[in-house]
Amino acid sequence: MTANKLNWCIVRLGEDFNWWVSEVSDDIHWEAEGLGILDPNQVEYMVDLLVQMQAYGLRNDVVEDAFFKFSIEKELPKSMIRLVASSEELMFSKEKIFAMPNAIDDNEGPYVDFIDHIIAIRVKMLNANLNFKQPFEIEELEEAIRDEQQADYVSGKGHHVFEEIVSILDYVPLGYSLDDDATEQDLEAEVDLPDFEDELESEDSRVKEWDYGDYN
What pLDDT does 11 receive?
97
- Contact between 191 and 46 under an 8 Å Cβ cutoff? The reply is no
What is the length of the chain?
A: 216
- What is the arithmetic mean of pLDDT over 20-36? 85
Q: How far from chain centre, in Å, is Cα 34?
A: 14
121 or 155, higher pLDDT: 121
Q: Is residue 151's pLDDT more than 90?
A: no
CB 79 within 8 A of CB 209: yes
pLDDT tier, 198 (very low <50, low <70, confident <90, very high otherwise): low
Mean pLDDT of the chain: 82
- Whether the pLDDT of residue 158 is over 70: the answer is no
Segment among 133-137, 158-162, 175-179, 203-207 with least mean pLDDT: 203-207
The whole-number average pLDDT for the span 189-198 is 45
Q: Any idea which of 1-15, 48-62, 107-121, 167-181 has the lowest mean pLDDT?
A: 1-15
Q: How many CB atoms lie within 10 A of CB 43?
A: 22
Helix (H) / strand (E) element for 80: namely strand 80-85
In this prediction, residue 211 has a pLDDT band, given cuts at 50, 70 and 90, of very low
The answer to whether 29 and 55 are in contact (CB under 8 A) is no
What is residue 125's three-state secondary structure?
A: helix
Q: According to the model, what pLDDT value does residue 127 have?
A: 96
Least confident segment among 28-32, 53-57, 102-106: 28-32
Residue 122 predicted with pLDDT over 90: yes
Q: Does residue 199 carry a pLDDT above 60?
A: no
Lowest mean pLDDT among 116-120, 183-187, 193-197, 201-205: 183-187
Prediction pTM value: 0.79
pLDDT score of 74: 94
